[in-house]
């Protein structure tokens, strides 16, 4: 790839800043100063230094975010803050996006990545990737409600929801595992059985649990093992 593209991708600066850095001789490739922006580099094997620091090209990035309430699952929004804006500047590559959506008021595990192929596989309805939500209800659920949720309910789509798993996790709390990701699905499922969701947090996705050391708004990179688990999900 072109050297200037590489430097932008690894977040050394904007295209025009990168041009300046190159002009000033602040970039070396395999120990030689390179001032030419369209110089071709091999991002995997060349040793590229900027201001004396080695730059590493990582093609794909994967972040586990504990989404706080009040931000939207988008890259840009005119009125609200977005999940991508929660990333520190040095991590905020232009190509990062959230994998699917959580409602603005929903908290919990949201994956952010620039890996389009994995995203597609995780979101395709055929895959039925598991998602578990901690649901806080307006009133305690009855056994019958839980049974209906587990068997699948009519939420006004062509077909009822797929069978899921509903476990009690407190007086008015349920852990609900579902395998689809229809718009407002969890809220609509509880509405369909006559109850109401007052708070929602996703605690696992694609076989990975939300890291409970992450406070709302915090994130961390996935480990290689975790990325593998997602690929196998
Ligand atoms: N179901 C919902 O109703 N909302 C979410 O944010 C996720 C699942």
The tens digit of pLDDT for each residue in 33-48 reads 999 999 999 988 999 9
Q: Mean of the pLDDT values across residues 118-132? A: 91
Residue 187 Cβ contacting ligand 1 at under 6 Å: yes
Residue 29 Cβ contacting ligand 1 at under 6 Å: no
Predicted local distance difference test score (pLDDT) of residue 149: 97
How far apart CA 177 and CA 179 sit, in angstroms, is 7
- The reply to whether 171 belongs to the active site is no
Confidence band for 126, pLDDT divided at 50, 70 and 90: confident
Confidence band for 10, pLDDT divided at 50, 70 and 90: confident
Q: Residue 69 pLDDT more than 90?
A: yes
Bridge partner list, 28: 33, 49
Predicted local distance difference test score (pLDDT) of residue 9: 79
CA terminus-to-terminus distance, the chain:
32
Of the residues 46, 103, 130, 211, which is catalytic? 103
Mean confidence (pLDDT) of the chain = 95
User: What are the contacts of 80-83 at 24+ separation with CB within 8 A?
Assistant: 80/104, 83/110, 83/112
Residue 100 and residue 89 in contact, taking contact as beta carbons nearer than 8 Å: no
Predicted local distance difference test score (pLDDT) of residue 44: 84
Tens of pLDDT, residue by residue over 198-207, are: 999 999 999 9
Contacts of residue 161, Cβ cutoff 8 Å, sequence gap at least 6: 152, 153, 155, 178, 180, 182, 185, 189
* pTM of the complete model: 0.79
Tens of pLDDT, residue by residue over 77-101, are: 999 999 999 999 989 888 999 999 9
Tens of pLDDT, residue by residue over 157-186, are: 999 999 999 999 999 999 999 999 999 999
Name the residue of 102, 130, 178 to mutate for ligand 1: max ligand atoms within 8 A of Cβ: 102
- Dig out the tokens for 52 from the structure: 């004396």
């Amino acid at each position: 790839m072109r050297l200037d593209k590489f430097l932008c991708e690894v977040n050394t600066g904007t295209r025009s800043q990168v041009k300046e850095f190159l002009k000033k001789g602040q970039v070396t490739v395999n120990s030689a100063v390179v001032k030419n922006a369209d110089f071709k580099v091999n991002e995997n094997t060349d040793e590229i230094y900027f201001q004396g620091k080695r730059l590493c090209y990582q093609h794909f990035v994967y972040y586990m975010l504990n989404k706080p309430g009040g931000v939207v699952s988008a890259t840009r929004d005119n009125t609200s803050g977005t999940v991508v804006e929660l990333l520190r500047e040095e991590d905020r590559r232009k190509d990062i996006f959230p994998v699917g959506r959580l409602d603005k008021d929903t908290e919990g595990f949201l994956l952010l990545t620039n890996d389009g192929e994995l995203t597609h596989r995780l979101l395709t309805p055929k895959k039925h990737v598991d998602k578990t939500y901690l649901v806080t209800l307006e009133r305690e659920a009855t056994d019958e409600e839980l049974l209906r949720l587990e068997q699948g309910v009519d939420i006004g789509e062509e077909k009822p929801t797929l069978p899921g798993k509903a476990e009690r996790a407190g007086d008015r709390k349920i852990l609900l595992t579902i395998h689809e990701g229809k718009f407002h699905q969890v809220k609509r499922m509880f509405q369909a059985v006559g109850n109401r969701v007052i708070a929602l947090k996703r605690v696992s996705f694609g076989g990975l649990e939300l890291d409970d050391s992450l406070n709302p708004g915090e994130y961390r990179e996935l480990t290689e093992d975790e990325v593998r688990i997602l690929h196998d999900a």
